[in-house]
Amino acid sequence: MRRFETLLGLAAAVLMVVAAILAPWLKFVLTIALAKGIAVIGIMLLLRAGQVSFGHAVFIGLSAYAVAFLAPAVPEALVLLIAGTAVATVSGLLIGLFVSRYREIFFGMLNLALSMVIYSVLEKFYSITKGTDGIRVELPRFAGMALERADFEWAIFALALVLAIGFALFARLYLASPMGQALSAIKTRETRLEFMGVPARQVLLSAYVLSALMGGVAGALIAMTTRHVTPLLAYWTASGELVFIAILGGAGSVLGPFLGAVTFELVRIYAGAAVADAWQMILGGVLLAVILFAPGGLWGMIQGALRRRAAP
């Protein structure tokens, strides 16, 4: 299964490049999907510990705003990526120190509440953040090169793809490590973990900070792709979408988040084009169907199909 996972991941990466070459408009969609997929890997880590955050979009938002604010002063994509990620990671550590004391519904609600505070600040302090109008992100250089818009978009797409592969591999190692195993032990028997000498809170906190970091990477990529940031990036419904993508893709594999993100973005675009005011309804219907009929998500469906072929 692990080899199949690797092969499928590589095949998907190649397919994405081909698709982006054949249909340039897809490049934009795929870049966003890859970015969200990276953020959803972070959600997946928390889900392993049985914790659902309904506020993780806030790390995407914080990083995106950091990029937008810094872009005029430091017009270099790679530096902006690092800066945005750093802002999200530090915020993740501060928020994580607080929320890692809580579990389950309280964990979810506190994340939600904190994200709403930050969302409101972004929305209300117009003089600094331009409120709901949002901020335009200036076109930065890429690795010192001043690129045309189209070339810059290619560069960000490539960057997103490389980062996605990197984070997927990292997450696979992490989940197989004792830290990753201890994460799912939090879900089933946290007390036992303490009686084995493992500080459960620190295990959860480190996963939380990692997830904020991944959200930060996603936020910076999204900011440089859409080149326009608004508070909606951090609204709780955006956080809900991240959890949605995690379940849609399936939590069984690090490919799940990307399967989910690509499907989510494509359904959103096609549904939006077909019925302008009902794309949310269609996405909601998809989500409902997945939970009720395929709780393992897309990855679970692929796995099931493989097993049936392996054992006829």
Q: Give the interface with other proteins as residue ranges (CB under 8 A).
A: 47, 50, 52, 54, 98, 101-102, 104-106, 108-110, 112-114, 116-117, 120-121, 123-125, 173, 177-179, 181-182, 184-185, 187-189, 191-199, 203, 235-237, 240, 243-244, 247, 277-281, 283-285, 287-288, 291-292, 295
The least CB distance from residue 183 to other proteins, in Å, is 10
Nearer to other proteins, 15 or 278 (CB): 278
Nearer to other proteins, 225 or 253 (CB): 253
The least CB distance from residue 272 to other proteins, in Å, is 11
The least CB distance from residue 179 to other proteins, in Å, is 5
The least CB distance from residue 295 to other proteins, in Å, is 6
Integer Cα distance of 177 and 185 in angstroms: 12
The least CB distance from residue 160 to other proteins, in Å, is 26
Nearer to other proteins, 124 or 136 (CB): 124
Nearer to other proteins, 166 or 285 (CB): 285
> Nearest Cα to 2, choosing from 245, 172, 130, 182?
172
The least CB distance from residue 34 to other proteins, in Å, is 22
Q: What is the dihedral of CA 139, 144, 149, 155, to 10 degrees?
A: -110
The least CB distance from residue 277 to other proteins, in Å, is 5
Nearer to other proteins, 127 or 312 (CB): 127
Integer distance in angstroms from the first to the last C-alpha of the chain? Answer: 17
Integer Cα distance of 90 and 86 in angstroms: 6
Integer Cα distance of 138 and 134 in angstroms: 13
Nearer to other proteins, 75 or 240 (CB): 240
Nearer to other proteins, 50 or 75 (CB): 50
